[in-house]
């Protein structure tokens, strides 16, 4: 049957906002982010309901399906825990041979990447920046600006998420603010 139909989902290009079928939404607040930031003491005394980041994802197939794709938008709110910028939990993909694309939509940020040998580096994120995240590279995003950091992502539907590795061992470096500027500091250099 020849049929012309409306799209089942729309993405607002300016904001990354997704509306339509099979869109899920996740909100991460300070209370959900235990042992992510360097200073647990400060995180615990901050307002636990503070939103750190929000994720929307269009998931047209079931998670784990081979050969499908997911498409998402992440908004990281501006803020810090001590001198460490608000950021995502960060993860590896459960399937270690699955890559991912990120692209900047709004705001100023950094994409923290860590390879298998625990070498960590950061790529600047801004409107229009494009980031290819190699398979088996851990990734975390950090908002270093005064407004929201918004970015898009596209990843294979069978990539999955491995959060445990980062929860246990972290990244080997963190992005902190020093003298009003972001710097990448090795874990061992941070005063506890
Ligand atoms: C999924 C993709 C993003 C993140 C989101 C939140 O592979 O990388 O959608 O899930 O940015 O980060 P995290 O580390 O909490 O999943
Ligand atoms: Zn990912």
**In the predicted model, what is the mean pLDDT of residues 69-80?**
98
93 C-alpha to center of ligand 1: Å? 10
Residue whose Cα lies nearest atom 6 of ligand 1: it is 88
- pLDDT of 192: 52
2 C-alpha to center of ligand 2: Å? 38
3 C-alpha to center of ligand 2: Å? 36
**In the predicted model, what is the mean pLDDT of residues 108-127?**
98
Quote the mean pLDDT of the chain: 97
Q: Which of 113-117, 131-135, 188-192 has the lowest mean pLDDT?
A: 188-192
Look at residues 51, 25, 33, 31 and name the one whose alpha carbon lies nearest to residue 163.
33
**In the predicted model, what is the mean pLDDT of residues 32-37?**
98
| Shortest-distance atom of ligand 1 to CA 151 | 11
pLDDT band at 48 (very low <50, low <70, confident <90, very high): very high
161 C-alpha to center of ligand 1: Å? 8
pLDDT band at 191 (very low <50, low <70, confident <90, very high): low
| Shortest-distance atom of ligand 1 to CA 166 | 14
| Shortest-distance atom of ligand 1 to CA 159 | 7
The whole-angstrom separation of Cα 92 and Cα 30 is 21
The whole-angstrom separation of Cα 118 and Cα 150 is 26
pLDDT band at 1 (very low <50, low <70, confident <90, very high): confident
If you classify domain 10-186 with CATH, what class do you get? mainly beta
Residues flanking ligand 1, CB < 6 Å: 55, 72, 74, 88-91, 100, 141, 153, 155, 161
pLDDT at 187 over 90: no
The whole-angstrom separation of Cα 26 and Cα 70 is 15
The whole-angstrom separation of Cα 11 and Cα 103 is 14
């Amino acid at each position: 049957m020849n049929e012309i139909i409306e799209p089942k989902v729309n993405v607002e290009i300016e904001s990354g906002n997704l509306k339509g079928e099979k869109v899920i939404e996740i909100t991460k607040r300070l209370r959900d982010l235990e042992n992510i930031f360097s200073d647990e003491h400060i995180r615990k005394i901050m307002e636990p309901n503070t939103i750190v980041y929000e994720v929307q994802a269009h998931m047209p197939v079931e998670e784990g399906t081979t050969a499908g794709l997911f498409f998402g938008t992440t908004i990281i709110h501006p803020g810090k825990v001590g001198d460490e910028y608000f950021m995502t939990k960060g993860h590896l993909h459960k399937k270690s041979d699955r890559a991912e694309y990120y692209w900047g939509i709004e705001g100023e940020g950094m994409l923290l990447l860590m390879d298998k040998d625990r070498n960590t580096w950061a790529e600047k994120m801004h409107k229009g920046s494009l980031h290819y995240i190699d398979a088996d590279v851990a990734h975390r995003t950090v908002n270093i600006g005064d407004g929201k950091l918004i970015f898009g992502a596209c990843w294979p539907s069978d990539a999955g998420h491995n959060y445990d590795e980062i929860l246990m061992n972290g990244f080997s470096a963190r992005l902190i603010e020093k003298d009003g500027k972001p710097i990448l500091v090795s874990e061992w250099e941070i005063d506890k």
